[in-house]
Amino acid sequence: MNWIDRDGKFLVSKEGQFAFAFVATANDSTKFLLAIVHVATERVIWTANRAVPVANSDNFVFDEKGNAFLEKDGTLVWSTNTSNKGVSSMELLDTGNLVLLGSDNSTVIWQSFNHPTDTLLPTQEFTEGMKLISDPSTNNLTHFLEIKSGNVVLTAGFRTLQPYWTMQKDNRKVINKDGDAVASANISGNSWRFYGKSKSLLWQFIFSTDQGTNATWIAVLGSDGFITFSNLNGGESNAASQRIPQDSCATPEPCDAYTICTGNQRCSCPSVIPSCKPGFDSPCGGDSEKSIQLVKADDGLDYFALQFLQPFSITDLAGCQSSCRGNCSCLALFFHISSGDCFLLNSVGSFQKPDSDSGYVSYIKVSTVGGAGTGSGGSGGGNKHTIVVVVIVIITLLVICGLVFGGVRYHRRKQRLPESPRDGSEEDNFLENLTGMPIRYSYKDLETATNNFSVKLGQGGFGSVYKGALPDGTQLAVKKLEGIGQGKKEFRAEVSIIGSIHHLHLVRLRGFCADGTHRLLAYEYLSNGSLDKWIFKKNKGEFLLDWDTRFNIALGTAKGLAYLHEDCDSKIVHCDIKPENVLLDDHFMAKVSDFGLAKLMNREQSHVFTTLRGTRGYLAPEWITNYAISEKSDVYSYGMVLLEIIGGRKNYDPRESSEKSHFPTYAFKMMEEGKLRDIFDSELEIDENDDRFQCAIKVALWCIQEDMSMRPSMTRVVQMLEGICIVPKPPTSSSLGSRLYATMFKSSSEEGATSSAPSDCNSDAYLSAVRNCTLLYHDMFWPSIQAISLSVSWADMNIAVAGAEAVEVCGGPPIQVSPGRLDTLVHDPEGRLPEESLNASGLKKCFQSKGFLTQELVALSGAHTIGSKGFGSSISFENSYYKVLLEKPWTSSGGMSSMIGLPSDHALVEDDECLRWIKKYADSENLFFEDFKNAYVKLVNSGVGGIAYKFRS
């Protein structure tokens, strides 16, 4: 549809209260936002592209496939992602909700209420996983509202998120039922209501006395960090008693950073920094650390986040000061005199000056250069003298640095050291510019702490781990990277990721060393070591972890991963979840470790392409098929670990019988047969009435589904393990386990070694070798053989059987294919393999141009051949993959175009769309199209499903 919105109202609600339109941005009348606007007040209540305004020449499209999207200069900036999901219409409701409806005009397939921006409307349900995001403040600070861990939380978007309000601690709420976790909230009348998982009302926040039926109250998260309530029909509720939070100084920056907020938002500078500036851009930048000192701030100060944060440590004042001095990322500290709680801040907002003493002593890091920490004053002559001294010092330092640099360069050239000065300075700059960092140790410090690395705890992919202890008695596990060339990226990843996050179920990084060519990581020491030592028993009768302990380990690991995926500022994909990377403390509490392979993703990203990493046996199929990975790749690895926890054995053990050697295959089979007890460690005493017994198995099998869209999120895994939500029976196709087995042997081997599988099953050389094979059909359980005309070519027969297998192994219905002559040992009289018959097919031309491999062509063409040659039952074939994937949708002229693969006049119409519509069909039907990539190689390589190849003599 080509239409120009000249009136600024593309879509208007039935009663005319709301309009869906383009509105100009506040700062630039030539830039536009696609927004829902309340017509009477002209208030914007929802935007599609708040971060990326578009120009007058850009397009909003609602296409014939049911997808609505916005483009800027031809680049997609926003989309509902609803192609081929049955959308037939778009409607703007009088509630302010933009909806995409199905063909019955009542089924909601997508709605703007599920994707709020900064405003909540009446009847709009706000649930866990949603987020209100404010416009940035004048200091470019963003605020967030979320439901987290059963509470409603406001946080400030510093590099490390800092909470500043929770409904749980707000004493203005009316309690209907306490002690339950909040699952959802909505605006109802003159109150904000909070509900539990059973939809029971827990709390109410009454923000107005106006209960009139004409009142339409909304909640808005402003750029100042306050939530205010407004009546769209007139009237505000901005009194301090009715906004959130209540105190005018309780938001992150009611004044500027380092400024003290007092009373009615009066702002003043601390006495130790009269300019309100600490005097440096970054405390970790080069020599600036030498010119920074920790100075005592004004008495009785408080900070908005302290009541919501966990202390860095519990110590004395000297210990707290030492921790801040030893961490260049620490900008300020607050020490509570009575409790000993020590808080280190790596980002600083405004300070608070409460009416009564806060009980805290506070210190701020300030620069000693230019008198930043000494107050104003001093004569003009003194200033000149200071300038002269500074110039002399700088010149002297430059001369010394030049001599040192020349000496080091000469020495490195002579000794041929592996790291160049450029590499070292580049990494130093990287590390120094990170915020929230732990203590940086010298190599000598850690060499002393480990007694010259005398007690080795274990060996990892990029180095060894040694036991150590600090002078204060704190025990450490020190990881020494061996070969900085191969471990530099892993070192950076681990320091930047785990150094800035803290969670009960994540191993804590206490410090690091980047000293010359030495790279070391100092973790908290966990006395019980890694999980693999406790679940993989070498000898019968060794200490056995009971079921309660194992279940708690599984749950703790899940919580740690859920935090990485959902609760960090950036989504973190671990990429190497395995028992060796789950560590256990004195009480067998699980902590996820080893972030050297982790991948950071923006919140807006759902998938990312990356190089192969991880460990064979735990790698998700998308790693092997070169498909984009996501946090669901971690879910797959977790599922494999959970199976090993349950079974007390590795997922592949050649010492077991052939039926049991690949544990996932065996687990799927036992699930199908209802023999769940056979999956568990035979030495475990288990009450089969324990709900956790079946729950754990089902969760594990859901997690290792090949189709990543079918795997649950880690948050959902936690909920299922905790019994919060029901765990349905997972799909248990027996062929799924077999494909997982095949995938395992195509993955990279453990810790970076090379797999023993064929190096490239997709290569021309490999296909050339296969040409000497003959297809033999020998499945005695296949349905009765029907008569097949001898005129059917062997190539078509081979394609048909391969296609049938491809359909079934990918989750489609069984297709009865009559094998005809293929049940004999007679060689193919035509001497051809299936791919040789594809040259005449439209598939060959269409799909090869899109980068599809020959194996994929065989699988797809096989499904086509089954139907077109009449090999399959038309009834069972009607809903097969052939129907779903190889039949094009309606054409623009209204007729059904021919099937791709039929060499007709219409087969290659709109050739550029062939890949696009197939993948969208697959996505909309929850079909895992990528399985086709391996279908034919699997047939050649494994003999699964009654098909085998033999070499000709």
Round the CA-based radius of gyration of the chain to a whole number and report it. 32
Question: What dihedral do alpha carbons 420, 425, 430, 432 form, nearest 10°?
Answer: 140
Say which DSSP state 582 is in.
E
480 annotated to bind ligand: yes
CA pair distance 96, 87, nearest whole angstrom: 19
Helices (H), 519-612: 532-535, 547-562
CA pair distance 448, 471, nearest whole angstrom: 10
Closest CA to 638 of 586, 570, 581: 581
Convert 380-416 to b/e letters by CB count within 10 Å (16 or more is b): eeeeeeeeeeeeeeeeeeeeeeeeeeeeeeeeeeeee
548 is catalytic: no
Tokens for 155, please give them.
Answer: 């946080």
Count, in order, helices (H) and strands (E) of the chain: 21, 44
Neighbouring CB atoms inside 10 A of 925's CB total 15
Helix (H) or strand (E) holding 591: strand 590-592
Report yes or no: 434 and 491 within 8 Å, Cβ to Cβ: no
Tokens for 236, please give them.
Answer: 């505000």
Report yes or no: 702 and 710 within 8 Å, Cβ to Cβ: yes
Tokens for 47, please give them.
Answer: 């935007």
Which position among 341, 576, 828, 931 bears the catalytic label?
Answer: 576
Single-letter amino acid, residue 848? Q
CA pair distance 105, 124, nearest whole angstrom: 20
Map residue 487 onto helix, strand or coil: helix
Say which DSSP state 424 is in.
H
Burial class (CB in 10 A: 0-12, 13-18, 19+), 710: middle
Is the dihedral angle over the CA atoms 810, 811, 812, 817 positive or is it negative?
A: positive
Tokens for 888, please give them.
Answer: 């094009």
Report yes or no: 420 and 412 within 8 Å, Cβ to Cβ: yes
Tokens for 479, please give them.
Answer: 């990881």
Per DSSP bridges, beta strands 184-188 and 32-38 are: unpaired
Closest CA to 551 of 539, 535, 563, 536: 535
CA pair distance 215, 235, nearest whole angstrom: 9
Single-letter amino acid, residue 624? I
Single-letter amino acid, residue 141? L
Q: Which residues are annotated as a binding site for ATP?
A: 480
Q: Which residues are annotated as a binding site?
A: 480
Catalytic residues: 576
